[in-house]
Structure 1
Amino acid sequence: MNVLVLTDLSRVAKNAGTYAVQFLADVPAHFYLLNIKLFHPEHPPEFPENHPRDLAINLLQQRVLELQELSTCKEHKFSVLYSENDLVGAARKFVLEKNIDLIVMGAANKLHSPNTIIGNHTFEVITKVKCNILAVAENSRYRTPRRMLFPIDYGVSLPQENLKFLQRPQIANNAGITVMEVGYETRPESGGSVNLFFEPLQDRQIETRKIPIAEAFSEEQLEALQQEFDLIVLLGKNINICSELLHKEKGLYARVTNELPILVLHQ
């Protein structure tokens, strides 16, 4: 597996990289740490205002040493990348060039600096880069995923290709899935079957809950979900759900503190 870790070397981004190495502890993976010149809203004092490429790469290599020490898998590899392109452009370039299977990035909470690029642009990357993305909240601490929440609605088709990432060996393979049918009242008669969609994951324990739209996206609901689940899984093309939860200004997680990592699946 090839993993692109977007990092500005902030505490939020470092936590995301740490989580990724732990999440993929049993998966042979090549981690590419990508730094973009603009990713330094909280740079340490030794950074000059226009820091040179060599300094950024040096700091990335130091971070690689930390992750290598954390890793318990002999088949983990680490490389560093640097770009001065815009965030989305650089991510798209390296997704293609390095055949990336998963992007990892930090997601700052509501109290974090509004200038933290990696926090403010999580939604932009999710909607504009067609690659599986793991967005790790700054307060997320790794624990073995046992319960995954998978909200869906019926404003989108349900192609089984979106589930390929979860079919990989050792990807949260002991975690059950709770499918939360949001707005089930408006489910079309001709709509795709949820049971059929999840057939490729029948080796997992799967349960279904139904919840009205009016009750799905509230601070109270979020608090309850964080107590019950370890990971949230979304379909990238399920724009309604992603917007309600993740929009960088209007989404639920822009207003309240979220501690759950979020895995967004693309085809």
Structure 2
Amino acid sequence: MQQLLIPTDFSENAWNALKYGLELFKKTECTIHLLHVNSIPPYSGAGTSVQAAGENFKDILLKESKISLQELLVRIEKLPANDRHTFVPIALYDYFVDTVKRESETKKIDLIIMGTKGASGLKRATIGSNTGDVIVKVKCPLLAVPEDAAFSPPGEIAFVTDFHIGYDPKVLDTLINMAVLHNSIIRVLYISKKGEELCDEQVKNKDFLDD
């Protein structure tokens, strides 16, 4: 059974990423963890009264999040029924990336699915700040779904590499499983400079991918 983690902020972009994931794995038995994180503000209150107010604020946020998650489940129920999918709503109050990392480890997540809207600044304009942070800091395969992307079965998948990275077999298994589901072709793409030859490390990693 696949364990999927889909963070949501209840935006249409997050909804689109969720629908994309459901279509991608519609033939697979999955437990889908729907995670909403109420991020801790970058400051802490001082004093008992402020702390008490903060705790009350946390309770209010979590209550609202749980309601929104139930509304999301109702929206999901309006999609074509799929008895292969089980949904687990999760509402937490914590730092976003830390939470995603912890949940992916404790629940043995096979794949994280996130939308890419929400970029701040040119550097992250293609993926968004939260998605970019998760890619960098969380050791779990992640599928980034571009804003307004419409699902179509992946006929061909491009695996772009410079052969300098030795890949974790779990990451490759996730990719292979996705390809098998849709009879997709995986094409490993390496682009070299003119006259450049592979070093010993690159040859080793290339042979690993061939295997």
For 2:85 and 2:34, how far apart are their aligned partners in 1? Answer: 13
For 1:180 and 1:195, how far apart are their aligned partners in 2? Answer: 14
1:24 matched to 2:36: no
Cα 1:195–1:73 change in 2 (3 A) is farther
**Contact between 1:33 and 1:78, CA under 8 Å: does it hold in 2?**
yes
Give SS of 2:4's match: strand
Question: TM (normalized to structure 1)?
Answer: 0.62
Give SS of 1:2's match: strand
1:78 matched to 2:48: no
Root-mean-square deviation (Å):
2.6
Larger radius of gyration: 2
For 1:94 and 1:163, how far apart are their aligned partners in 2? Answer: 21
Give SS of 1:84's match: strand
Alignment of 1:116-195 (within 5 A): 119-158=128-167, 160-168=169-177, 171-183=180-192, 185-189=196-200, 191-192=203-204, 194=206
Greater fraction of residues in helix: 2
Identity of aligned pairs, percent?
24
**Contact between 1:25 and 1:72, CA under 8 Å: does it hold in 2?**
no
Instruction: Give the aligned length.
Output: 185
1:114 aligned to which of 120, 124, 128: 120
**Contact between 2:164 and 2:205, CA under 8 Å: does it hold in 1?**
no
2:209 corresponds in structure 1 to: 197
Code of the aligned partner of 2:204: G
Cα 1:120–1:147 change in 2 (3 A) is same
Give SS of 1:55's match: helix
For 1:173 and 1:188, how far apart are their aligned partners in 2? Answer: 34
Give SS of 2:78's match: helix
Question: TM (normalized to structure 2)?
Answer: 0.77
Cα 1:161–1:174 change in 2 (3 A) is same
Alignment of 1:56-67 (within 5 A): 56-67=65-76
2:77 corresponds in structure 1 to: 68
Give SS of 1:52's match: helix
**Contact between 2:97 and 2:130, CA under 8 Å: does it hold in 1?**
no
1:96 corresponds in structure 2 to: 105
For 2:176 and 2:143, how far apart are their aligned partners in 1? Answer: 16
**Contact between 1:146 and 1:172, CA under 8 Å: does it hold in 2?**
no
Cα 1:135–1:62 change in 2 (3 A) is same
| CA offset digits 1:134-154 (Å, max 9, x no partner) | 111112110011011111003
Query: How far off is 1:93 after superposition?
Result: 1.5
Structure 2 alignment gaps of length 5 or more? 41-56, 122-126
Structure 1 alignment gaps of length 5 or more? 40-48, 200-267
